[in-house]
Amino acid sequence: MDGASTATREILVTGGSGQVGTELQRLAMPPGWRIVAPPRGELDLADPRSIAAAVRARPWAAIINAGAYTAVDQAESDVVAAWQVNAMAPAALAAAATEAGGIPIVHVSTDYVFPGDRAVAWEVDDPVAPLGVYGASKLAGELAIGTAQPRHAIVRTAWVVSAHGRNFVKTMLRLAADRDVLRVVADQHGSLTAAADLAAALAAVAIRMAQDDGAPAGIFHFANQGPTTWHGVAEAVLKESAARGGPSAQVLPISSAEYPTPARRPANSLLSTARITRDYGIAPRPWQIALNEILDELLAAPGPATA
């Protein structure tokens, strides 16, 4: 047997405790591939030396940067910390990857790089104009990755949810457990993204990039399919929750003006996924199907009691 050809190839993942990082570690990877996600104590994205040491630690086949400063409202008053993790960390990762011989990097970015001021889905090459600190810092991270080395994929996503971590689905279920009526913004448009679906796409892109120097590079979008609003998502969550015996509530539509937040949000976050389908054959499924799987996990009936 040829030992070299059967050696496991390892993909370094940052942000392993986050929604996307968790799903990356839950993926059933193809034989011969392994996800390695060091904890923050071993890979601190606020510390360029820690980043460089983690990249040097092993001969990584690829890097997936799923870690980020994701507190959108807090970022407005915590500017340096947001830029440290969302802009400087990608720069440090890219520099270390280049120094290590050009390790391909798959970097997760956001719909918040767009101003959201038009009705149709955003294409990968549409003009960017972030509305706040989080979006600006993520855009800087994109630029750092995109200019460092050719072997990169910047994967923008939006409205990420899962059965773990902090997200809109879990918030709706929590609020509905205490209240009969929820008031939810109905004038922000987008599509939901299941962290598990995104993780599978990120891993597929990373593996292809690791195997093929000529794999398509640049900017891609990934989100589950179908337009909706936060109000539409809330209604779907609570309808499906009720069907599973979970909490339910009436959902009333409100405007963004009625729910002021420190950071402005794009009115339209819908992302066109045409390029990732064309270049990688990845076709995201409808958001409702992905959401149902998350609710199955969150609201699974307890198993039969054991003695």
Ligand X SMILES: NC(=O)c1ccc[n+]([C@@H]2O[C@H](COP(=O)([O-])OP(=O)(O)OC[C@H]3O[C@@H](n4cnc5c(N)ncnc54)[C@H](OP(=O)(O)O)[C@@H]3O)[C@@H](O)[C@H]2O)c1
The residue type at 237: V
- Nearest alpha carbon to residue 174 among 240, 247, 254: 247
Rounded to a whole number of angstroms, the minimum distance from the CB of residue 299 to ligand X is 20
259 three-class SS: coil
Contact range with ligand X by CB under 6 A, out of 93-101, 104-112, 228-236, 284-292:
104-112
Q: Which of residues 25-84 bind ligand X (CB under 6 A)?
A: 40, 43-46, 66-70
Q: Is 287 in the site for ligand X (CB under 6 A)?
A: no
Contact range with ligand X by CB under 6 A, out of 1-9, 13-21, 25-33, 245-253:
13-21
Rounded to a whole number of angstroms, the minimum distance from the CB of residue 37 to ligand X is 8
Q: Is 18 in the site for ligand X (CB under 6 A)?
A: yes
* Cβ neighbours of residue 132 closer than 8 Å, sequence gap 6 or more: 72, 75, 76, 112, 263, 264
Select which of 69, 112, 134, 280 is catalytic.
Answer: 134
109 three-class SS: strand
Question: Beta partners for 36?
Answer: 12
Contact range with ligand X by CB under 6 A, out of 11-19, 174-182, 207-215, 252-260:
11-19
- Nearest alpha carbon to residue 208 among 155, 157, 143: 155
112 is catalytic: no
Q: Which of 15/247 has CB closer to ligand X?
A: 15
Q: Is the dihedral of CA 188, 193, 198, 199 positive or negative?
A: positive
Binding site for ligand X (CB under 6 A): 15-21, 40, 43-46, 66-70, 85, 108, 110-111, 138, 157-160, 165
